[in-house]
Amino acid sequence: MQTPISHPSARWLISPKHSPHTHPRLRLFCFPSAGGGPAQYRPWMRTLPEIFELQLIQLPGREARLREPLMRRMPEIVTEIGQALLPMVDQPYAFFGHSMGALLAFEVARWLRRTGAQEPVHLFVSGRRAPNQHDPDRMIHALDDAEFLREIVARYNGIPQVILDDPELLQIFLPTLRADLEVIETYQYAHEAPLHCALTAFAGFSDQRASLHDLQNWRAQTTGAFRARQFAGEHFYLQNQRDVLLAELLSTLKNSTSADQWPI
Protein backbone atom coordinates (compact mmCIF):
# COMPACT_ATOMS: atom_id res chain seq x y z
CA MET A 1 0.00 0.00 0.00
CA GLN A 2 1.06 3.59 -0.54
CA THR A 3 0.67 6.79 1.43
CA PRO A 4 -0.61 9.72 -0.65
CA ILE A 5 1.64 12.77 -0.84
CA SER A 6 -0.10 16.07 -0.15
CA HIS A 7 1.41 18.26 -2.87
CA PRO A 8 0.82 18.62 -6.63
CA SER A 9 3.85 16.55 -7.69
CA ALA A 10 2.65 13.37 -5.96
CA ARG A 11 3.29 11.29 -9.08
CA TRP A 12 7.07 11.68 -8.53
CA LEU A 13 7.06 10.09 -5.07
CA ILE A 14 5.92 6.75 -3.70
CA SER A 15 5.93 6.16 0.04
CA PRO A 16 5.29 2.73 1.59
CA LYS A 17 2.68 3.06 4.33
CA HIS A 18 3.86 3.82 7.85
CA SER A 19 2.05 3.12 11.09
CA PRO A 20 -0.18 6.10 11.99
CA HIS A 21 1.36 6.02 15.46
CA THR A 22 4.93 6.65 14.27
CA HIS A 23 6.53 10.03 13.73
CA PRO A 24 9.39 9.68 11.22
CA ARG A 25 12.32 11.97 11.95
CA LEU A 26 14.30 11.55 8.76
CA ARG A 27 13.17 11.20 5.16
CA LEU A 28 15.21 8.90 2.95
CA PHE A 29 14.73 9.57 -0.76
CA CYS A 30 15.84 6.74 -3.05
CA PHE A 31 16.66 7.33 -6.72
CA PRO A 32 16.44 4.40 -9.19
CA SER A 33 19.03 3.06 -11.58
CA ALA A 34 18.48 3.15 -15.36
CA GLY A 35 15.32 1.27 -16.29
CA GLY A 36 14.36 0.88 -12.65
CA GLY A 37 11.55 2.15 -10.49
CA PRO A 38 10.31 2.20 -6.89
CA ALA A 39 10.25 -1.62 -6.78
CA GLN A 40 14.06 -1.55 -6.37
CA TYR A 41 13.71 -0.14 -2.88
CA ARG A 42 10.37 -1.33 -1.55
CA PRO A 43 11.99 -4.28 0.34
CA TRP A 44 14.01 -1.77 2.34
CA MET A 45 10.90 -0.92 4.36
CA ARG A 46 11.15 -4.26 6.14
CA THR A 47 14.58 -3.34 7.54
CA LEU A 48 14.50 0.41 8.10
CA PRO A 49 13.38 1.52 11.58
CA GLU A 50 10.18 3.49 11.88
CA ILE A 51 12.02 6.77 12.42
CA PHE A 52 12.60 6.73 8.65
CA GLU A 53 10.08 7.90 6.11
CA LEU A 54 11.04 6.12 2.90
CA GLN A 55 10.30 8.15 -0.24
CA LEU A 56 10.89 6.43 -3.59
CA ILE A 57 11.44 8.49 -6.72
CA GLN A 58 9.16 7.35 -9.56
CA LEU A 59 10.20 8.45 -13.06
CA PRO A 60 7.87 8.53 -16.09
CA GLY A 61 7.57 5.39 -18.20
CA ARG A 62 7.57 2.76 -15.45
CA GLU A 63 5.19 1.17 -12.94
CA ALA A 64 2.28 3.54 -12.20
CA ARG A 65 3.62 6.04 -14.76
CA LEU A 66 4.07 3.49 -17.53
CA ARG A 67 1.95 5.40 -20.09
CA GLU A 68 3.64 8.76 -19.54
CA PRO A 69 6.21 10.06 -22.07
CA LEU A 70 9.79 9.16 -21.27
CA MET A 71 12.25 11.91 -20.36
CA ARG A 72 15.66 11.97 -22.02
CA ARG A 73 17.63 14.87 -20.55
CA MET A 74 19.09 15.26 -17.07
CA PRO A 75 18.26 18.96 -16.49
CA GLU A 76 14.56 18.41 -17.21
CA ILE A 77 14.31 15.44 -14.85
CA VAL A 78 16.30 17.17 -12.10
CA THR A 79 14.07 20.25 -12.22
CA GLU A 80 10.89 18.16 -12.03
CA ILE A 81 12.17 16.08 -9.12
CA GLY A 82 13.55 19.14 -7.34
CA GLN A 83 10.20 20.90 -7.54
CA ALA A 84 8.47 17.78 -6.25
CA LEU A 85 10.86 17.51 -3.30
CA LEU A 86 10.87 21.17 -2.25
CA PRO A 87 7.87 20.77 0.09
CA MET A 88 9.45 17.62 1.52
CA VAL A 89 12.87 18.91 2.63
CA ASP A 90 11.61 20.92 5.59
CA GLN A 91 13.01 18.29 7.98
CA PRO A 92 16.22 16.24 8.01
CA TYR A 93 16.54 14.08 4.93
CA ALA A 94 19.06 11.93 3.06
CA PHE A 95 19.49 10.82 -0.55
CA PHE A 96 20.47 7.37 -1.86
CA GLY A 97 20.95 6.82 -5.58
CA HIS A 98 22.29 3.84 -7.48
CA SER A 99 23.97 4.11 -10.91
CA MET A 100 21.93 6.67 -12.88
CA GLY A 101 20.20 7.38 -9.58
CA ALA A 102 23.53 8.51 -8.10
CA LEU A 103 23.80 11.25 -10.74
CA LEU A 104 20.16 12.21 -10.21
CA ALA A 105 20.56 12.41 -6.43
CA PHE A 106 23.72 14.50 -6.77
CA GLU A 107 22.19 16.92 -9.26
CA VAL A 108 18.92 17.24 -7.31
CA ALA A 109 20.93 18.03 -4.16
CA ARG A 110 22.70 20.82 -6.07
CA TRP A 111 19.39 22.05 -7.55
CA LEU A 112 17.83 22.26 -4.09
CA ARG A 113 20.84 24.18 -2.79
CA ARG A 114 20.46 26.70 -5.61
CA THR A 115 16.88 27.36 -4.45
CA GLY A 116 18.07 28.04 -0.91
CA ALA A 117 16.73 24.77 0.52
CA GLN A 118 18.74 22.88 3.13
CA GLU A 119 21.09 20.19 1.89
CA PRO A 120 20.59 16.53 2.81
CA VAL A 121 22.28 15.39 5.98
CA HIS A 122 23.90 12.70 3.85
CA LEU A 123 24.25 11.89 0.17
CA PHE A 124 24.80 8.21 -0.68
CA VAL A 125 25.95 7.50 -4.23
CA SER A 126 26.25 3.94 -5.46
CA GLY A 127 27.64 2.16 -8.51
CA ARG A 128 28.68 5.31 -10.33
CA ARG A 129 31.97 7.04 -11.08
CA ALA A 130 32.26 10.69 -10.00
CA PRO A 131 30.27 13.08 -12.20
CA ASN A 132 33.29 15.13 -13.25
CA GLN A 133 35.14 12.05 -14.53
CA HIS A 134 35.44 11.33 -18.23
CA ASP A 135 33.21 8.44 -19.27
CA PRO A 136 35.29 6.13 -21.52
CA ASP A 137 32.33 3.99 -22.61
CA ARG A 138 30.96 4.43 -26.11
CA MET A 139 27.43 5.73 -26.48
CA ILE A 140 24.92 2.95 -26.97
CA HIS A 141 21.46 4.51 -26.59
CA ALA A 142 20.99 4.83 -30.37
CA LEU A 143 22.02 1.24 -31.24
CA ASP A 144 19.48 -1.20 -32.66
CA ASP A 145 17.69 -3.33 -30.08
CA ALA A 146 19.83 -6.46 -30.45
CA GLU A 147 23.17 -4.68 -30.12
CA PHE A 148 21.87 -2.37 -27.39
CA LEU A 149 20.71 -5.36 -25.36
CA ARG A 150 24.05 -7.16 -25.81
CA GLU A 151 25.93 -4.11 -24.56
CA ILE A 152 23.65 -3.65 -21.55
CA VAL A 153 23.97 -7.28 -20.50
CA ALA A 154 27.76 -7.22 -20.96
CA ARG A 155 28.20 -4.01 -19.00
CA TYR A 156 25.75 -4.38 -16.15
CA ASN A 157 24.37 -7.93 -16.07
CA GLY A 158 21.30 -6.51 -14.38
CA ILE A 159 18.25 -7.27 -16.53
CA PRO A 160 16.08 -9.86 -14.76
CA GLN A 161 15.99 -13.18 -16.57
CA VAL A 162 12.20 -13.13 -16.57
CA ILE A 163 12.36 -10.04 -18.81
CA LEU A 164 15.07 -11.45 -21.07
CA ASP A 165 12.97 -14.59 -21.59
CA ASP A 166 9.77 -12.74 -22.47
CA PRO A 167 9.81 -10.83 -25.80
CA GLU A 168 6.71 -8.83 -24.88
CA LEU A 169 8.12 -7.71 -21.53
CA LEU A 170 11.42 -6.90 -23.21
CA GLN A 171 9.71 -4.63 -25.73
CA ILE A 172 8.08 -2.74 -22.85
CA PHE A 173 11.32 -2.49 -20.88
CA LEU A 174 13.80 -1.56 -23.62
CA PRO A 175 12.45 1.91 -24.51
CA THR A 176 12.63 2.96 -20.86
CA LEU A 177 16.16 1.64 -20.48
CA ARG A 178 17.22 3.24 -23.76
CA ALA A 179 15.82 6.63 -22.68
CA ASP A 180 17.65 6.40 -19.36
CA LEU A 181 20.91 5.57 -21.13
CA GLU A 182 20.36 8.66 -23.25
CA VAL A 183 20.00 10.68 -20.04
CA ILE A 184 23.34 9.32 -18.81
CA GLU A 185 25.18 9.61 -22.11
CA THR A 186 24.11 13.20 -22.79
CA TYR A 187 24.77 14.33 -19.21
CA GLN A 188 27.16 17.26 -18.94
CA TYR A 189 28.77 18.03 -15.62
CA ALA A 190 28.87 21.73 -14.69
CA HIS A 191 31.32 22.89 -12.04
CA GLU A 192 29.80 24.32 -8.87
CA ALA A 193 31.06 24.78 -5.33
CA PRO A 194 31.13 21.45 -3.46
CA LEU A 195 28.18 20.44 -1.35
CA HIS A 196 28.61 20.66 2.43
CA CYS A 197 26.77 17.47 3.39
CA ALA A 198 28.47 14.20 4.23
CA LEU A 199 28.91 11.94 1.20
CA THR A 200 29.44 8.18 1.01
CA ALA A 201 30.21 6.34 -2.22
CA PHE A 202 29.42 2.62 -2.53
CA ALA A 203 30.06 0.00 -5.23
CA GLY A 204 30.63 -3.71 -5.74
CA PHE A 205 34.22 -4.95 -5.73
CA SER A 206 33.76 -6.36 -9.23
CA ASP A 207 31.97 -3.35 -10.73
CA GLN A 208 34.25 -2.38 -13.62
CA ARG A 209 32.47 0.96 -14.03
CA ALA A 210 32.83 2.08 -10.43
CA SER A 211 36.28 1.14 -9.13
CA LEU A 212 37.57 2.25 -5.75
CA HIS A 213 39.48 5.01 -7.55
CA ASP A 214 36.25 6.13 -9.22
CA LEU A 215 34.48 6.21 -5.87
CA GLN A 216 37.26 8.21 -4.23
CA ASN A 217 36.92 10.87 -6.93
CA TRP A 218 33.55 11.78 -5.41
CA ARG A 219 35.50 13.36 -2.54
CA ALA A 220 35.85 16.60 -4.52
CA GLN A 221 32.06 17.04 -4.53
CA THR A 222 31.75 17.83 -0.81
CA THR A 223 33.49 19.73 1.95
CA GLY A 224 31.83 17.42 4.46
CA ALA A 225 32.80 13.99 5.71
CA PHE A 226 33.56 11.49 2.94
CA ARG A 227 33.90 7.73 2.76
CA ALA A 228 34.17 5.15 -0.02
CA ARG A 229 33.27 1.50 0.54
CA GLN A 230 33.03 -1.58 -1.65
CA PHE A 231 30.85 -4.66 -1.14
CA ALA A 232 31.04 -8.16 -2.56
CA GLY A 233 29.44 -8.30 -5.99
CA GLU A 234 29.19 -6.56 -9.34
CA HIS A 235 27.23 -3.52 -10.50
CA PHE A 236 23.99 -4.62 -8.84
CA TYR A 237 25.67 -5.76 -5.62
CA LEU A 238 22.83 -4.19 -3.61
CA GLN A 239 20.47 -6.99 -4.62
CA ASN A 240 22.50 -9.67 -2.83
CA GLN A 241 24.10 -7.43 -0.22
CA ARG A 242 20.92 -5.63 0.89
CA ASP A 243 21.21 -6.39 4.60
CA VAL A 244 24.89 -5.46 4.76
CA LEU A 245 24.29 -2.28 2.77
CA LEU A 246 21.36 -1.20 4.94
CA ALA A 247 23.32 -1.87 8.13
CA GLU A 248 26.09 0.35 6.77
CA LEU A 249 23.58 3.01 5.74
CA LEU A 250 21.90 3.04 9.15
CA SER A 251 25.20 3.22 10.99
CA THR A 252 26.35 6.08 8.79
CA LEU A 253 23.11 8.03 9.19
CA LYS A 254 23.26 7.59 12.95
CA ASN A 255 26.63 9.33 12.91
CA SER A 256 25.32 12.06 10.57
CA THR A 257 22.34 13.08 12.68
CA SER A 258 21.91 14.24 16.25
CA ALA A 259 21.66 11.54 18.90
CA ASP A 260 18.18 12.64 20.02
CA GLN A 261 16.76 11.57 16.67
CA TRP A 262 17.45 7.91 17.37
CA PRO A 263 15.58 5.62 19.75
CA ILE A 264 17.48 4.53 22.83
Active site residues: 99
Residue by residue, DSSP assigns the chain as -BPPPSSTTGGGEE-BPPPTT----EEEEEEPPTT--GGGTGGGGGTS-TTEEEEEE--TTSGGGTTSPP---HHHHHHHHHHHHGGG-SS-EEEEEETHHHHHHHHHHHHHHHTTPPPPSEEEEES---TTS---SPP-TTS-HHHHHHHHHHHH--S-HHHHT-HHHHHHHHHHHHHHHHHHHT------PPB-SEEEEEEETT-TTS-HHHHHGGGGGBSS-EEEEEESSSTTHHHHSHHHHHHHHHHHHHHHS-GGGS--
Cβ–Cβ < 8 Å for 238, 229: no
Pick the closest to residue 203 from 151, 115, 118, 126 (CA basis): 126
- β-pairing, 13-14 vs 52-57, is antiparallel
Integer Cα distance of 252 and 208 in angstroms: 25
